[in-house]
Structure 1
Amino acid sequence: MKKQFILLGLGSALVLSGCGGGGGSSGTTTGAGAGAPVATPVSTLSSVTTANATQVAASAYASSVALSDSSAPVNGLLTGVSIDGARAGAVAPVLSLVRKVYPRTTPLLTGVVMTEACTGGGTMTVDANLRNQQTISNGDTLKITANNCVEDGVVINGSMSIAMSNITGDIVNSYNWSATLDTTFSNFTARSGNETAGIGGDMKIAMAQTSMSNSTINVSGKSLQLVEQRNGLTLGTYTLSNYTMNETVNGAAVSSAASFSIAGNSSGLGQFSYTVKNLQPFVSIGMGNPSSGSLIVNGASSSVTLTSASTSSVRLEYSAKGDGVITQISNLSWAELLAAL
């Protein structure tokens, strides 16, 4: 069963290191799980310039994909983007952990921590309060801690806590259900190949599925901290604040729109802070590039708008004053845009 639909794909947030520009200061917070501080959003936005507009637009699109790519399996989290051939995600593997809790023959007892073997090696411990051992119910709470747990080829460490509500239907055994999962990540990491995603913060996932290939998902949160590592080296730290994402999956067709603030610090690029919002939802077929849709990235008295002209080309409109007056237009292929990351 394609239960990857249940939780948000975050792997493509790793490409945010392409986000350019300085012009802001930031504090730090901890807890993203990869051993590095995470930049906190600031009121001073970074500048979008003619020199970095393509990078900024590409990174904004990549981060919107990170919030919208809920239906992709672990091996396809990056739409059109590959980092050294690896695709490291965090939330699709989370679903694998959740599904291992239900159904059960050995009861999970409240206040008793139980240890489970993971499919590909390692273990996970479960501290749960379940109304029904066989299916997910309103009021269920889970705390899952992974210790080198391998699921779907992804190595998972750290913990997450989930509270279940608004449950209708049978999530485990059917394709007709709805649910809200209030999730908190703590020192959570997922490694695929030489890429590691570290995640901390909160995420509310409200989802309804009416068939194997038809669903809606609404994701929101106050703060989600991300750390990008490659071969053990920290390449960037990011915080998404006041974020929302709405997605509809209808067969192979996917429509998604996101809104968020992002601040961070990446190696060689310094600190940055932008706001991102879809003006029109991105519409795509499967894992292909969107055929339509647009988003705007607002910086310090400047902006760049990315519009999908087709599945093969995009248009970038740069506004030097951020007032809607276009001062530069660039037409690129999707491949050229994503190469800027």
Structure 2
Amino acid sequence: MKSQTLCLAIASTLALGACGGGGGSAGSSTSPTPVQTSSLTPITAANSGKAAASGYTASSLIGDSSSSVTGVLTGVSIGGTGMSAAAPVIKLVKRSFGQGGAPLLTGATVNQACAGGGTITVDANLRNPQTLSNGDTMSVTAVNCVEDGDRLNGTLSITIADVSGDLINTTSGAATMDTRFTGFSITSGSETATLNGDMKIALKVTSSTDSSVTISGKSLQATDQKAGATVASLTLADYSLSGSTNGNTTTSSGSFGLSGNANGLGQFAYTVKSIQPFVSVGTDMPGSGSLIVNGNASSVTVTALGAGGVRLDYSAKGDGVVTQTATLSWADFNASL
């Protein structure tokens, strides 16, 4: 699983600091105070690469969300790889609506088998047991539920709004899924990201290769573990990320507060904002796009150079005057996490 999985993973969803990977335990469900400018951590010349990678990783998760969500809905794999916090929500909602066997019944608890093993338990209040309707509510608890190779555990509560078309049974439609994660873990390979907090997923799909999604929320906490050890505990605050997939082109951008504790950075608090959307074609890294990670009186700007890698422009005073520039390969950039 890519490090993007954790960081909105969130998110990422999530989402979505320096990330690692695999084990899994629930993070705190207490909503922290959103990041304030006065409380930001200084970015130094020495850690500017890690700060830049942390901001990019969280922001770029939405790119995986755009393509993977379309794939979940249509069965067509479009551009990009990796997993997002949004895609498991869509997977579980689709499975709940009879995709795994028994149809949903309002007021009844339904147990269903998952495609790769494990189960989900669904409690729902629905207007139509065959598809999404405005005002529907669902609580889905996954127990070792394996879908497309990802193991899901924990609980989602979802309220449906802004429905048009039929996302469950066709390749077009729209809906907003107001979601809360409670100890919800996503495991892929050796990495596990555990999520707590809120996420609103506004999704529109117009064809098997075209979709757009906006992911937003007040606070999403993510804990990343690998080999039983926690490598990062992160929070996205007051976040909004948007992306679209058109054919094999994925575009993404975002704005959020990012704080927590991560290997190589220690305790930190930054704000992250896109300057130009990141644009990727197929499975390639972005060929264009930029964002800025702001610390206390300091900043670092990340600019995508396609196959040429990524350029990092560090400003020691955060005033736009570049005091250090480095160009890294994508492999070296990602390895700095």
Which of 215-224 and 115-124 deviates more? Answer: 115-124
- CA distance in 2 between partners of 1:174 and 1:214 (Å): 13
Q: Deviations over 1:187-241 (max 9, x none)?
A: 1111122211100111111121111111111111000100001122211110000
- CA distance in 2 between partners of 1:196 and 1:88 (Å): 12
For residue 274 of structure 2, what is the aligned residue in structure 1?
278
Q: Deviations over 1:171-195 (max 9, x none)?
A: 1222221111111111111112221
Amino acid aligned to 2:162: N
Note the C-alpha offset of 1:11: 6.4
Query: Sequence identity of aligned pairs in percent?
Result: 48
Residues 90 and 213 of structure 1: CA distance in aligned 2, closer, same or farther (over 3 Å): same
Contact 2:49 2:336 in 1 (8 A): yes
Amino acid aligned to 1:102: F
Provide the secondary structure at the position in 2 that maps to 1:69: helix
User: 2:194 pairs with 198, 202, 209, which one?
Assistant: 198
- 1:256 paired with 2:234, answer no
TM-score, L = length of structure 1? 0.84
Contact 2:65 2:85 in 1 (8 A): no
- CA distance in 1 between partners of 2:228 and 2:115 (Å): 24
For residue 159 of structure 2, what is the aligned residue in structure 1?
163
Note the C-alpha offset of 1:62: 0.9
For residue 303 of structure 2, what is the aligned residue in structure 1?
307
- 1:328 paired with 2:324, answer yes
For residue 17 of structure 2, what is the aligned residue in structure 1?
16
For residue 288 of structure 1, what is the aligned residue in structure 2?
284
- CA distance in 1 between partners of 2:59 and 2:311 (Å): 17
User: 2:144 pairs with 145, 148, 154, which one?
Assistant: 148
Q: Deviations over 1:110-156 (max 9, x none)?
A: 33212111222221110001111211111211100011212222221
For residue 3 of structure 2, what is the aligned residue in structure 1?
none
- CA distance in 1 between partners of 2:313 and 2:67 (Å): 30
Provide the secondary structure at the position in 2 that maps to 1:296: strand
Note the C-alpha offset of 1:8: 7.9
Provide the secondary structure at the position in 1 that maps to 2:117: coil
For residue 3 of structure 1, what is the aligned residue in structure 2?
none
User: 1:53 pairs with 41, 48, 61, which one?
Assistant: 48
- CA distance in 2 between partners of 1:111 and 1:157 (Å): 23
For residue 104 of structure 2, what is the aligned residue in structure 1?
108
- CA distance in 2 between partners of 1:136 and 1:283 (Å): 31
Tell me how large the CA RMSD over aligned residues is.
Answer: 2.9
Note the C-alpha offset of 1:96: 2.0
Which of 38-47 and 186-195 deviates more? Answer: 38-47
Contact 2:80 2:284 in 1 (8 A): yes
Amino acid aligned to 2:135: G
Q: How many pairs does the alignment contain? A: 316
Unaligned ranges ≥5, structure 2: 1-7, 72-76
Amino acid aligned to 2:261: N
Unaligned ranges ≥5, structure 1: 1-6, 20-32, 81-86
Amino acid aligned to 1:189: S
- CA distance in 2 between partners of 1:88 and 1:250 (Å): 18
Which of 308-317 and 200-209 deviates more? Answer: 308-317
Amino acid aligned to 1:135: T
Note the C-alpha offset of 1:106: 4.6
- CA distance in 1 between partners of 2:26 and 2:96 (Å): 29
Amino acid aligned to 2:25: A
Contact 1:88 1:195 in 2 (8 A): no
